[in-house]
Structure 1
């Protein structure tokens, strides 16, 4: 089989060691004679996996005891509705910072539920940058301030987060969770779909400050309340047990790598290889994102023409590079260098980019 370099934006690469562990345990987990997918979610064998995943997540991200870790479903897209359903009460405003397509989608859902406003936006510049913190507009009656920490489509990422004290700061961190240390206490709620850095699709992780669990709206259905899942240790109903098992395995792997600080250093090294290929190409490759807003997770770029883009992508596919097509709304190319993408893959892409440029200038 040809060697494959997986740069898919999501679902994305998983650590080889994690896949091999799952393979070895697939039909006989922990000497139960069954797959973890077959175990009761109330069994002691599964509950040990469930609780270890929560514990590892808290350890790796240094989550204070005043926060709860929840395992939910529906992806980040369901969170776009759950957030305003919980917190956007009459007389308050959902305040959204727009930095890309996913923050726009979050705003769209909130508009169906209550009053909203935009604290800042870089849409006019095709989302090439992150809104400047000192340009953001807040209101005394903000129910919350919402941002998207990393923008997969446009290849931009928040380097620093605004200090919001008048209302909870809520972040969609689906595409850069666990890629770098974060100060959890800056946020009232962080949520993330797993399929970028945490595991397979099907599980969403939420980190919520305990006092926000009491800010419930009685009319919200039980399944859409954070408190429902907090009160039951995310076992209110049958959870996606295999996805949580895989999440646990990824978190074990992350700890073995040296934790989030070590992973961040590796991510910086990987991204630099590809950004250097862009910056040292004398304009043959042009990045979409402004340099001070560049993402370590999603590297977006174009070649001199659309014909070059197509030829580059076709040749890359022949050589085993997978997932380099840019998002359909933007076009061009995109390399997603999530935690599990090995340095070797980024070196190979850098070399291919350099060779293609030298042979096609």
Structure 2
């Protein structure tokens, strides 16, 4: 049987973790800090647990250069899918409070039971409340659909839809192959949106925004709405212009740690929420309290029982990153990520008669490299099965594509070494030459 050192695991998540982090966590799982209890046993109300949470949050803020006077870093449960709902509940609530403040400033009573105030707020909800979504892949599509489910389709604006992009490449293997050009959608942004939502990296489809969308930069003046981003599969792989966002979130199980915790970095001005009575009077949904960012923030991320073991693993991953890149931090990891992705894409592009990369070059993800073996495009999948079998024999595992799109997917997360990426690139080249022999 192969050992851990014999395997390079390209699974999309739960993903590969640094071996030294796992070894440290394994020891702590039995006896943390020689206290006689393991990390999965200590109370989340205990000082050791609180310290683990504090350190993880602080180190994460340091690595990403989060301005903590303006933003709150919170740890919570629910995963990325839970955040599809949480973003709706919290950003709609923040919008209601902003509109309420405007009305009070115009002279309406500062009283949530005032018929005059309620009437004016209901009118605003009916005519102005919108959530804007850029749909560029499977996960942003799911987020858009959840918003429709919670608020109704009339409140959710599909600003950009990558499914309508025409991919001129013959036999394109994905319905999400490109990111729509900004000039095609910027005019569709709502004038008073509660948020503009996008997914920075689409794990299933291998599509990544190369940078923060220029049209959404606050100075561009195209929208004043808070920008919300799902960064679950590319966080910690490059610097983040935090001040451009109202909120960004990410699940831990790609670049940060193990499954079980989610991080939200929220602008403090967006944290306060209206009362449940006011939301009820406006016929707006009231979210579960465990998804309410301000409650979690006020309780230092320990409102309910958080998995301290998972927080510990995430904290150790961040400490390793800070030790590896003490000066340039996320920019240092970005350089490595770019080199690894370049190696793999170069091997694929060298054999375009054998491989078809799913997204167009401008939208290619550094994190999730999605492609098909063209020899399987005739209706059979023998070539892709052979590719996966031969790769596995070499210790290159976790390469099967997502069940919804098939094909091959190499998830090139931070824990994949440059040597591992080079080994995959070498196999891609060798397999192609064998196919053409």
Band the TM-score falls in, shorter-chain normalisation: over 0.9
Q: Rg larger in 1 or in 2? A: 2
8 Å contact 2:52–2:308 — kept in the other structure?
no
Once the two structures are superposed, what CA deviation does each residue of 1:73-106 show, in whole Å capped at 9, x if it has no partner? 1101011111112223633111100000101110
Alignment match of 1:93 (pick from 130, 142, 149) = 130
Alignment match of 2:315 (pick from 248, 259, 280) = 248
Is the counterpart of residue 107 in structure 1 residue 144 in structure 2? Answer: yes
CA positional deviation for 1:221: 3.4
Match of 1:60 in 2: 63
1:1-361 correspondence runs (5 A) = 1-2=1-2, 3-64=6-67, 65-88=69-92, 90-91=125-126, 92-114=129-151, 115-125=155-165, 126-136=175-185, 137-161=188-212, 162-164=216-218, 165-216=223-274, 218=276, 219-258=286-325, 259-306=329-376, 307-361=382-436
8 Å contact 1:8–1:336 — kept in the other structure?
yes
8 Å contact 1:86–1:217 — kept in the other structure?
no
CA positional deviation for 1:119: 1.0
- Structure 1 217/100 Cα, relative in aligned 2: closer, same or farther at 3 Å? farther
Instruction: Find the aligned partners of 1:72 and 1:42 in 2 and give their Cα distance.
Output: 15
Between 1:344-353 and 1:17-26, the stretch displaced more is 17-26
Between 1:156-165 and 1:251-260, the stretch displaced more is 156-165
Instruction: Find the aligned partners of 1:289 and 1:221 in 2 and give their Cα distance.
Output: 37
- Structure 1 120/282 Cα, relative in aligned 2: closer, same or farther at 3 Å? closer
8 Å contact 1:179–1:263 — kept in the other structure?
yes
Normalised TM-score (structure 1): 0.96
> Secondary structure of 1:208's match?
strand
> Secondary structure of 2:271's match?
helix
Between 1:35-44 and 1:176-185, the stretch displaced more is 35-44
8 Å contact 1:129–1:290 — kept in the other structure?
yes
Q: Which has the higher helix share?
A: 2
The answer for unaligned runs of 5 or more in structure 1 is: none
> Secondary structure of 1:38's match?
coil
CA positional deviation for 1:217: 5.4
CA positional deviation for 1:176: 0.6
CA positional deviation for 1:327: 1.2
Between 1:63-72 and 1:283-292, the stretch displaced more is 283-292
> Secondary structure of 1:256's match?
helix
